[in-house]
Amino acid sequence: MKAGLVDYGGGNLRSVANALHALGVEPQIVSGPEGLKGVTHLILPGQGEFGDVMAQLEKRKLVNPLKKWIEDRKPYFGICVGFQILFDGSDEAPDVAGLGVIKGRCVRFKEAEGKKIPQMGWNGTVPQNTDSDFWKGLGAEPYFYFVHSYFPIPEDASWHVSETNYAGENFAASVEKGKVLACQFHPEKSQDAGLGLMANFLGLEWAVS
């Protein structure tokens, strides 16, 4: 197993790398197509605006290689904006196309009295696919750390989702199909549950500390 960590000039690369180090994994930094050589598992950490992330991936000539990676059914883990870019687009950057791997679009939380946007903090997440190896050992409703104003609405029922409720609004906190896992929350900031999810994605043995 060789984990590749996509560097598009933004995102919390160091936090994800530190989480991988805690699992005993030294990631290979992928800042262009050539960086994919030898990689078996690809992680795209996300932080920032949808349009900016897509522009940076285009600049580094990574858009088509990312699409092909997923089309070839290779392990991909998208975090936050790395989750959102899998979809057709986002209301955050209406004129920018996403990777289009999953049919659907990212929308902003609905305004409501007493509701703070962005959502910042811990929240429970209920996986739909309880037999998934990704969720092994995490319990029925693990808690993860969220920081976001937008979230995707998957339109393809072949993708299993996990669901979270924020201030009365349900949304897809993650999607999975085959070897692809992507989540709106930040596993690298989610202590044992986050490390467990990352370990499961990488096929590593782990135990709650």
Exactly one of 41, 80, 106, 183 is catalytic; name it. Answer: 80
Mind giving me the DSSP string for 161-183? EEEEEETTEEEEEEEEETTEEEE
Q: Is the dihedral of CA 138, 76, 190, 204 positive or negative?
A: positive
Q: Is 188 a catalytic residue?
A: yes
As a whole number of angstroms, the distance between CA 79 and CA 45 comes to 5
As a whole number of angstroms, the distance between CA 173 and CA 125 comes to 7
Q: What are phi and psi of 78, to 5 degrees?
A: -105, 135
Q: Is 186 a catalytic residue?
A: yes
Cβ atoms of residues 145 and 164 within 8 Å: no
Exactly one of 34, 148, 188, 205 is catalytic; name it. Answer: 188
Exactly one of 58, 111, 186, 205 is catalytic; name it. Answer: 186
Tell me which residues are annotated as active site.
80, 186, 188
